[in-house]
Structure 1
Amino acid sequence: MKNPVSDKISKIKPSGIRKFFDIVNTMDDAISLGVGEPDFETPWRIRDEAIYSLEQGRTFYTSNAGLMDLKIALSDYLDRKYDLHYDPKTEMMMTVGGSEAIDIGLRAMLDPGDEVIIPQPSYVSYEPCTILANGVPVIINLKESDEFRLTARELENAITPKTKVLILPFPNNPTGAIMEREDLEAIAEVIREHDIYVMTDEIYSELTYQTDHVSIASLPGMKERTVYINGFSKAFAMTGWRLGYACAPAPILKQMLKIHQFAIMCAPTTSQYAGIEAVKHCDREVEDMKMQYNERRIYVLERLRDMGLSCFEPYGAFYVFPSIKSTGMSSDEFATALLNTEKVAVVPGTAFGDCGEGFIRISYAYSMENLKIALNRIEKFIKSLAK
C-alpha cells in the first residue's frame, strides 16, 4: 500500500506544550502552570451579549470577512489604543483565533522556498505553519542578555535574497519579553531597507506592565508591509470563543480571505457579537485582570529568585522564563522530574525552540492560591536536588 500520510506532515513534531498538559490531566492533585490560558471567566457583559444574540436568533453565517459592525468597532479600538488605522471594508477580517490568522497569512504570502525569519524562543505555531506554507524557517536565537529582544543586528545578519517575511512575536510567549519603540524603530529601518514584510503577532498587546505597547505597524512606512495579528483570547479571557483577527494591506488581505473562504467560511457568529461588546465597553475589566496578573508576576518572580533560579524580569504577557541551568538538568529532565515528584506541570523551554534549552516556562495565569501551592512544591523540588 502507498503511504497514506504526507511526509511533510509526519516530520512536524507535536506541540511540546500539550505533552505535559495531557499528562497532568491524568494525575490527582496535580497543578498545571503550563497552559497559557487566563483563569478568569470571560467578563459577564460579554457573555450576556452572546446570550442575547442567541435569544435574537443570530445563529447564521456572517460574511466571510466577519460582521461589519465588529470590524468597525475594532477599527476604532485599534485607533484609540495603538494609533493603528485600518479600513474595515478592505483591510480587516475576523478569524478563528489568532492561530488561523497566522496560518492563512503565511500561506497567502509565501511561495515555495521563501524564507521566514522566526525569532525564538517563541510560540510553537510559527515554524510548523511556515513549513505547511512551503516556506523555509530561518531561526534567530534570542539571548537572555538582551532580555530576549530582537536586535537590528541579528535581523540584518539573518536576511538573505530569499527572505520574504519576519515574524515579530512581542509581547512574547514564552519569555514575557517586550519590544519598546526604540527597538522597533531600529528593526523597521532594516525591514524597509531590505524590502521584506512583517507578520506581527500582538495577541498579548493589552498585557504590558511598565510601558504602553507599541505596534510596529504604527511606525512610518510599516503599515503597508505588515500583517497585524491579534485576538480576544488573552486580554478578554475568551480562549474558548475562538475569535481572532488580521489587519493587512488590501492586496494581502484579499488572498488571506480567499483561503479563509474555502477552509473556514467565517468565525463563530455568537463570538463575533460578543466581540463587539468586548472592544466597546470592557476596558475596565481588562485593566482589572491586568492588575491581578501584575501582582502574580511580581510574586512569582520573587519566589523563583529566592529559590536561587535566575530569571530576567518579563514585562509582558503572563509568563516567566527562569533558567534551570544551575540544576545541571536539561529542560525536559527538569519538567519531567518536577511533574513526577511534586505534581507540578511546567513547560520545557525547548518546546519553543532549541535555544530554550536550560529554561522552563511558567504561566502565572492561575489563581494566587494555586501559584503559592505550586511554587512551594517547586521550592521543595529545588531543595531536594541540592541534597
Structure 2
Amino acid sequence: MKLAKRVMTLTPSTTLEITAKAKALKDAGHDVIGLGAGEPDFNTPDHILNAAKDAMDKGFTKYTPSGGLPALKNEIANKLKVDNNIEYKPSEIVVCSGAKHALYLLFQVILDEGDEVIIPTPYWVSYPEQVKLADGVPVYVEGKEENNFKITAAQLKEKITAKTRAVIINSPSNPTGMVYTEQELVELGEVCKEHNVLIVSDEIYEKLLYDGNKHISIAQLSPELKDLTIIINGVSKSHSMTGWRIGYAVGNETIIKAMTNLASHSTSNPTSIAQYATIAAYAGPQDDVETMRAAFEERLNVIFEKLNNIPGFSCIKPQGAFYLFPNVSEAAKLAGLEDVDSFVKVLLDEEKVALVPGSGFGAPNYVRLSYATSLVQLENAVDRIAKYMNKVTK
C-alpha cells in the first residue's frame, strides 16, 4: 500500500520506542525500571479531577469553540499576566489538544516548502519531524556542553539565511534541563529582531525549576520580542495532566487565527471536559504544583552525585524539567560497545534499566534519564547501572 512521502521520512519516537520495549519486558515478568517517561509520576490534583467530574455531571460534554472555551482563554491570559508579566487578548490564544498539537499546527500554518527552522541540539524528538511534516527544513545548531547545551547569538546569526522562518527556544529544556538566562535571551532576541525571525518559545517546563532558578519568557523582554514570539505551553508537566491533552499557543493574532482554522478542520476542538479541568488547574490552588516541583528537586539532589560517580558517566546538573542528560560515550567504550545506542540496549537487557539514547535528541554521546519516578526506584536504577559498569571495568 502506497504511503504519502511526508510520512516516509519520519523517525519513530525514541522515547516511545524504549518505553514500549521496557513495558514488554515488564509484561513478561521482568523487574524493569523505566527512566524513559516524559511525564510526572504524580496523579492530577484532586480539585482538578473534581472539576472534570462536575463538568460531566453538568453535561458540559459537547463541542466547544475550535480555539478553546472563552473562560479557559481568560484563565490562560490571567496566568500569563501574573506569572510572566505579559498581556494577551483572547484572540491571541488558541487552546489545542496538547502542546505537541500546538506546535504541529504552528508549523503547518507558518511554513511553506523549503522554509527553514533553526533547531538547537540537543532537541526534543518531535521538533524536526513536525518541521518536516510541514515541508520545512530543520537546520541544527549545536548547543555545546561547555555552554550548558545552549546556543549563542553568534551561532544563531551564522545559521540564518533568506529561507529562515523561525527558531525554537526550549527553556527549561527537554532533554538537558538547562535554562536560558535573561541576558542570553536578550542577545538571541536581538538577532531575531535584526533578521525578522519568528521565535517559537516552548515553555512547557516553566514551573519545574531548581536551585533558585527563575523562568523568563523571551516575550516579556520587550514589545518587539513579544510581537515576534509564539509561546507554547500547557498543563501537562506543571499540573501532571499529560493524558488530558491540553496545551496552547499564544502570540500574533493572524497566526493564532490560522491555527484555529486548521484545528477546526482536524480536531474540531480540544476535549471539553479537559478544558474545564484546565480552568480549575489555573484558577485553583497551586500548592500541588510546588509539592511536585520540590519532590523532583529532592530526587535530583540525591541521585545526581551518585550518577556522576559511575565510571564513564559525566553529567552537568540540570536547572529545570525532570531529566538528567549525562555523556556516557566513555562508559560505552569501557563496556567494549560500539556506541551509546548499544550501551542503552545492553543496560535494558542485562540490568533491566530503560534509558533513552541521546541519538533521538541529536546528541548521540548522551542518554536521557527521567527522574519522574520514586526515589527508591531511582536509587535502585543507579545502583544497577553502577553494578554493570563496575563489572565491565574490573
TM-score (structure 2 length as normaliser) = 0.95
Per-residue deviation at 1:315? Answer: 0.1
Distance in structure 1 (CA, Å) of the matches to 2:229 and 2:272:
27
Per-residue deviation at 1:8? Answer: 2.9
- The structure 1 segments of at least 4 consecutive aligned residues displaced by more than 4 Å after TM superposition are none
Distance in structure 2 (CA, Å) of the matches to 1:386 and 1:174:
28
Q: Does 1:310 align with 2:308?
A: no
Distance in structure 2 (CA, Å) of the matches to 1:134 and 1:42:
37
Distance in structure 2 (CA, Å) of the matches to 1:332 and 1:205:
30
Alignment partner, residue 24 of structure 2: 26
Alignment of 1:235-314 (within 5 A): 235-308=238-311, 309-314=313-318
Alignment of 1:31-70 (within 5 A): 31-70=33-72
Alignment partner, residue 107 of structure 1: 108
Per-residue deviation at 1:16? Answer: 1.2
Per-residue deviation at 1:288? Answer: 0.8
Q: Does 1:197 align with 2:198?
A: yes
Alignment partner, residue 81 of structure 2: 79
TM-score (structure 1 length as normaliser) = 0.97
In terms of mean alpha carbon deviation, does 369-378 or 343-352 score higher?
A: 369-378
Per-residue deviation at 1:30? Answer: 0.5
Per-residue deviation at 1:45? Answer: 0.7
Q: Deviations over 1:211-244 (max 9, x none)?
A: 2100011111111111110011101000110111
Distance in structure 2 (CA, Å) of the matches to 1:173 and 1:261:
29
Distance in structure 2 (CA, Å) of the matches to 1:217 and 1:183:
13
Per-residue deviation at 1:375? Answer: 1.2
Per-residue deviation at 1:306? Answer: 2.0
Alignment partner, residue 171 of structure 2: 170
Per-residue deviation at 1:150? Answer: 1.7
Distance in structure 2 (CA, Å) of the matches to 1:70 and 1:242:
14
Distance in structure 1 (CA, Å) of the matches to 2:165 and 2:80:
26
Q: Does 1:367 align with 2:367?
A: no
Alignment partner, residue 129 of structure 1: 130
Per-residue deviation at 1:7? Answer: 2.5
Per-residue deviation at 1:379? Answer: 1.1
Alignment of 1:293-372 (within 5 A): 293-308=296-311, 309-327=313-331, 328=333, 329=337, 330-353=339-362, 356-372=363-379
Q: List gaps (5 residues or longer) in structure 2.
A: none
Alignment partner, residue 15 of structure 1: 13
Q: 3, 6, 16: which one pairs with 1:5?
A: 3
Distance in structure 1 (CA, Å) of the matches to 2:301 and 2:233:
26
Q: Deviations over 1:66-123 (max 9, x none)?
A: 11111111111111111121101x1001100000000010111111111100111111
- What secondary structure, in the 3-state scheme, does the structure 1 residue paired with 2:55 have? helix
Amino acid at match of 1:224: D
In terms of mean alpha carbon deviation, does 342-351 or 293-302 score higher?
A: 293-302
Distance in structure 1 (CA, Å) of the matches to 2:294 and 2:8:
43
Alignment partner, residue 391 of structure 2: 384
Q: CA RMSD in A?
A: 1.0
Q: State the number of aligned residues.
A: 382
Q: List gaps (5 residues or longer) in structure 1.
A: none
Per-residue deviation at 1:141? Answer: 1.5
Amino acid at match of 1:316: G
Per-residue deviation at 1:374? Answer: 1.1
Distance in structure 2 (CA, Å) of the matches to 1:101 and 1:198:
14
Q: Does 1:232 align with 2:235?
A: yes
Distance in structure 2 (CA, Å) of the matches to 1:385 and 1:37:
32
- What secondary structure, in the 3-state scheme, does the structure 2 residue paired with 1:25 have? helix
